[in-house]
């Protein structure tokens, strides 16, 4: 179906590109923060088994995962606030114009970082976009199943996050487990900067982590759809769809 964005542009809703990571039972998932493997298992008890292949009438399974540590997820300011804010309560719009850029983090002491100059070199004006997707380089299938725990992944400097705010980004999406250093003494400074917490909490802004953007999707402007569960938690597993914008 053709979905018109304005009088000059449209997207084809049957041609979306999924840039989220599927979550399945076991260890073959991207994970972080020392979280356990995803567990999907049938309910068993009182003569009932929730698995058709084991003799049950239906498949009826429990799923155990951590939204922040197992696969693609979208979070709100409730991730760092004393007050209770939920992603279901904060995210009220789900379709956005978005910019995709690619950045190769650079070495800084023992870390790999993304600083303001690296973002500014590719993006000085967000235009009509309110969302920004950042793909880190090199980019490979290892991201689909990588365990980031204790690996000190690349992260943003505080100045970079301030610049992202200056651009007017409402929804930031990255292929890393966090915008902050894995171990930073509990500061989570870039999270605080992005949401301006506790000074002026930005309830309408989100961060999505652990996406994966295949190389065949080129940098540029897209139409973005963020899908979440109606979950009253600071974060939810999410499905992220990109659509090519066609011009008449």
CB-CB contact of 243 with 229 (8 Å): no
Cα–Cα distance between 124 and 86 in angstroms, integer?
A: 32
> Per the domain annotation, does 31 fall within a domain?
no
> Per the domain annotation, does 36 fall within a domain?
no
Reported in sequence order, the residue ranges of the chain that DSSP labels E, i.e. its strands, are: 2-6, 9-12, 17-18, 39-42, 44-45, 48-49, 61-64, 73-75, 95-103, 106-108, 111-114, 131-136, 155-156, 171-174, 206-209, 220-228, 235-244, 246-247
Global confidence as pTM: 0.97
Q: What is the pairing mode between strands 155-156 and 171-174?
A: unpaired
- 111-169 pLDDT, tens per residue? 999 999 999 999 999 999 999 999 999 999 999 999 999 999 999 999 999 999 999 99
Which CATH number fits the domain that encloses residue 162?
A: 3.50.30.50
Residue 182: which domain range? 2-22+67-247
- 165-197 pLDDT, tens per residue? 999 999 999 999 999 999 999 999 999 999 999
The half-sphere exposure of 27 on its side-chain side, counting CA atoms within 13 A, is: 3
Count of domains forming the chain: 1
What per-residue confidence (pLDDT) applies to 178?
98
The model's confidence at residue 238, banded by pLDDT at 50, 70 and 90, is: very high
Instruction: Region of 68 please: left (phi>0), alpha (psi -120 to 50) or beta.
Output: alpha
Extract the tokens encoding 144: 């689909």
> Per the domain annotation, does 159 fall within a domain?
yes
């Amino acid at each position: 179906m053709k979905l018109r964005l304005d009088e000059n542009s449209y997207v084809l809703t049957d041609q979306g590109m999924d840039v989220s990571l599927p979550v399945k039972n076991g260890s073959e998932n991207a994970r972080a923060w020392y979280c356990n493997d995803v567990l999907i298992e049938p309910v068993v008890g009182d003569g009932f088994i929730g698995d058709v292949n084991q003799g049950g009438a239906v498949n009826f399974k429990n799923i155990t995962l951590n939204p922040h540590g197992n696969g693609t997820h979208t979070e709100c300011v409730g991730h760092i606030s004393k007050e209770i804010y939920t992603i279901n309560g904060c995210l009220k719009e789900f379709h956005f114009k978005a910019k995709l850029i690619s950045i190769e983090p650079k070495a800084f002491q023992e870390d790999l970082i993304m600083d303001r100059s690296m973002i500014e070199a590719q993006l000085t004006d967000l235009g009509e976009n309110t969302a920004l997707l950042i793909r880190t380089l090199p980019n490979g299938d290892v991201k689909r199943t990588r365990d980031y725990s204790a690996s000190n992944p690349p992260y943003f400097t505080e100045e970079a996050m301030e610049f992202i705010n200056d651009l007017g980004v409402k929804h930031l999406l990255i292929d890393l487990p966090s915008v902050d250093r894995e171990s930073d003494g509990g500061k989570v400074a870039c999270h605080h900067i992005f949401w301006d917490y506790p000074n002026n909490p930005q309830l309408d802004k989100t961060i999505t982590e652990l996406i994966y953007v295949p190389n065949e999707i080129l940098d540029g402007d897209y139409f973005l759809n963020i899908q979440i569960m109606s979950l009253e938690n600071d974060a939810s597993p999410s499905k992220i769809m990109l659509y090519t914008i066609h011009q008449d």
